[in-house]
Amino acid sequence: MKTIIEPFRIKSVEPIRMTTRGERERLLKEAGYNLFKLHSDDVLIDLLTDSGTSAMSAAQWGAVMTGDESYAGAPSFYRFEAAVKDLMDFKHIIPAHQGRAAEHLLFSLIAKPGHVIPSNTHFDVDTLNDWKDQTILMMEVPGLRVHDAQILVGAGIRNRKELAEAPARTLFMLASEFLQTPQGDRVIRDDDYLAEEEVEQWIDLAKTGS
């Protein structure tokens, strides 16, 4: 079998700290299961970002030292502009810091009312915090299912104490209101519905766990 080697040399090596499963579980719990609260030196494999944190080439490191950091008119922009124009017949070249910003510029110009723009599923820090609180709820209140926790967080309940102290009727109305939103519509099946008795069971589970 023919061996294919990587066509480059590694210029530098950065040590990373090995962690055990027990350490990772403890660190996650201490961070409230919020990845943004972890210290990076406690992370063995970083899967939080897709932006890339890999090694750079010798030419890239050299460009860091020789680059012109002028706020406008830097030679690096004109090299970038020339390369793009060489590949594409664009009159105007506007660099953007990330794809989402570029999409905002592009679609604000071409999108019209009634147009459908396909895209991937975006999420932000608020969504991440919702996922964290859903996880905490299911850990603090054994017996809650995933979609139970989704409904509760959507209704504003984020921990066992809040659930145990919530008036059943008020919580049922808040949960029903959430289920009428686009986010809530994805949680429950078309042939299913939320009963007030189910909300009372959630509250009983929270009180039992207190």
128-137, 172-181, 186-195: range with lowest mean pLDDT: 186-195
Instruction: Please indicate, yes or no, if residue 115 is contained in any of the structural domains.
Output: no
Q: Say whether both 105 and 155 belong to one domain.
A: no
Instruction: Please indicate, yes or no, if residue 203 is contained in any of the structural domains.
Output: yes
pLDDT higher than threshold 70 for residue 53? no
The token pair at 11 is 């210029």
Instruction: Please indicate, yes or no, if residue 78 is contained in any of the structural domains.
Output: yes
Q: Say whether both 184 and 131 belong to one domain.
A: yes
Phi, psi for 136 (deg, rounded to 5): -60, -45
Helix or strand holding residue 49 (H, E): none
The token pair at 67 is 């680059």
CA 151 from centre of chain: 20
Domain that holds residue 75: 69-110
Q: Say whether both 198 and 136 belong to one domain.
A: yes
Angle between the N-to-C axes of helices 125-140 and 146-154, in degrees from 0 to 180, rounded to the nearest 10: 120
> Which pLDDT value is given to residue 123?
62
Q: Say whether both 135 and 92 belong to one domain.
A: no
Instruction: With CA atoms as reference, report the closest residue to 183 among 207, 153, 209.
Output: 153
Cβ-based neighbour number of residue 209 at 10 Å: 14
Q: Say whether both 95 and 163 belong to one domain.
A: no
Domain count, the chain: 3
Q: Say whether both 132 and 178 belong to one domain.
A: yes
Please, which pLDDT band fits residue 34 given cuts at 50, 70 and 90?
A: confident
Q: Say whether both 44 and 92 belong to one domain.
A: no
Please, which pLDDT band fits residue 89 given cuts at 50, 70 and 90?
A: confident
> Which pLDDT value is given to residue 199?
94
Q: Say whether both 136 and 183 belong to one domain.
A: yes
CA gap 34, 133 in Å, rounded? 9
pLDDT higher than threshold 70 for residue 33? yes
Instruction: Please indicate, yes or no, if residue 43 is contained in any of the structural domains.
Output: yes
Overall residue count recorded for the chain in this entry? 210
| Burial class (CB within 10 angstroms; exposed 0-12, middle 13-18, buried 19+) of 116 | exposed
Instruction: Please indicate, yes or no, if residue 58 is contained in any of the structural domains.
Output: no
Q: Convert the pLDDT of each residue in 191-208 to its tens digit.
A: 678 899 999 999 999 998
**Range from 58-72, 83-97, 100-114 that averages highest in pLDDT:** 83-97
Instruction: Please indicate, yes or no, if residue 57 is contained in any of the structural domains.
Output: no
Q: Say whether both 202 and 129 belong to one domain.
A: yes
DSSP assigned state of 41: G
Sign for the CA dihedral angle at 100, 104, 110, 114 comes to positive
- Per the model's pLDDT, the better-predicted residue between 181 and 11 turns out to be 181
Instruction: Quote the mean pLDDT of the chain.
Output: 84
Q: Say whether both 93 and 138 belong to one domain.
A: no
Q: Say whether both 129 and 179 belong to one domain.
A: yes
17-21, 36-40, 147-151: range with lowest mean pLDDT: 36-40
Please, which pLDDT band fits residue 60 given cuts at 50, 70 and 90?
A: confident
Instruction: Please indicate, yes or no, if residue 169 is contained in any of the structural domains.
Output: yes
47-61, 108-122, 145-159: range with lowest mean pLDDT: 47-61
> Which pLDDT value is given to residue 1?
56
Instruction: Please indicate, yes or no, if residue 61 is contained in any of the structural domains.
Output: no
